[in-house]
Amino acid sequence: MEIIIKNVTDFNLKYTLESGQSFRWNWVDDAYFGVVQRQILKIQQKNDTLIIHSSYEQDKTSFLTHLHHYLDLHRDLANILNAVNVDAYIARAIDMFWGMRLLNQELWETIASFILSQNNNIARIRNIIRTISQRFGQKLEYEGYVDYTFPDPKTLADAGRDKIFDCGTGYRASYLWNAANNVANGELSLDALKLMEYGCAKQELMKLKGVGEKVADCICLFSLGHQQALPIDVWIKRIFERVYLRKRAKPQEIQDFAKNYFGEFVGYAQQYLFHYAQQQPDWDNGDHLTLSFKHK
DNA sequence: TTCCAGGAGAGAG
DNA sequence: CTCTCTCATGGA
């Protein structure tokens, strides 16, 4: 089917799909291809119009509803960015990547992806996830583009640790296999997780081996829609130590400062800072905080 | 060759 | 509680 969404405000497809929160989108010729809801999606943006093609052919209304949710289009981004735009440093990040949104991705795939992300780089994470999907997922084809669903927990549990290791997952293989078993046997309920508050969901996720504070926060932010989650990876740690706190800081200190400084949408602030720092660190611009124009 | 990547677990102190 | 070491892998 084809879906045209017009008058999309404050949305940038490229920044949203290439900001390190999803590992599954591929740019081919003039469009992004990916897998959502076990269907291939082809998405293009022309100014304020989204052109979406999919192999999915049933129930257009519910598909459209899910698409809005997935792309985070139901939120008032301008309001959010205005709230976190409290100094000249993040102002540059916001200005440069205006329209970047936090996705609401499928939960199990997000759990698995960020278990695999630890002590790893984005390019290699993408390769590993592609390999796992190719070997254990279901093959899909649309307009000549071939991709694979991410395998469900039971499939990975049945495959075994060694087969997961063979996908290049390294020491994380046992973590992923363990998580797959926990979900498959009902010890961890994905449906229950979706209903929990942020703190409760994070705590529940951290019961999984291989899921610590940072990975749990990624899952909360990139799948469960908890905008107050602040994943602290090496980049975010560097930003807060060099730009904001100007000293070595433990994760909890950064959490406390950031929550107070940026407020309830700190997760969105984090995404802009992360993407900005990756492309143009600009660490030692010491005058940015004295130029602070909104923060009291 | 060594270092690094959207870290976390285990052990020592 | 905090600090340190280790865990596979591939690209720079």
Residue-wise pLDDT for A69-114, tens only, equals: 999 999 999 999 999 999 999 999 999 999 999 999 999 999 999 9
What radius of gyration, in Å, describes the C-alpha atoms of chain A?
19
pLDDT bracket for residue A286 (50, 70, 90):
very low
Average pLDDT, rounded, for chain A: 94
Q: Cβ of residue A185 near strand B, that is under 7 Å?
A: no
CA atom of A220 to C1′ atom of B8, Å: 18
Rounded to an integer, the average pLDDT of A60-67 is 94
pTM of structure: 0.96
Q: How far apart are CA A284 and CA A271, in angstroms?
A: 20
In which band, very low, low, confident or very high, does the pLDDT at A153 lie, cut at 50, 70 and 90?
very high
Q: What is the pLDDT of residue A164?
A: 98
Which pLDDT tens digit goes with each residue over A114-147? 999 999 999 999 999 999 999 999 999 999 999 9
Strand C protein footprint, C-beta under 7 A = A 119-121, 123-124, 165, 168, 170-171, 250
Residue A197 has pLDDT above 70, yes or no: yes
Q: Is the CB of A234 under 7 A from strand B?
A: yes
- Give the residue with minimal CA–C1' separation from C7: A171
Distance CA A14, CA A26 (A): 11
Percent composition of chain A: helix, strand, coil (DSSP 3-state, to 5): 50, 10, 35
> Which residue's CA is nearest to the C1' of nucleotide B9?
A210
Dist CA A281 CA A108 (whole Å): 32
Nucleotide B12 C1' to residue A213 CA (A): 23
The residue lying closest to nucleotide C10, measuring its CA against C1', is A124
Rounded Cα distance between A98 and A228, Å, is: 20
Using a CB cutoff of 8 Å and minimum separation of 24, what contacts does A29-34 make? A33/A142, A33/A145, A33/A147, A34/A147
Mean pLDDT, to the nearest integer, of A189-198? 98
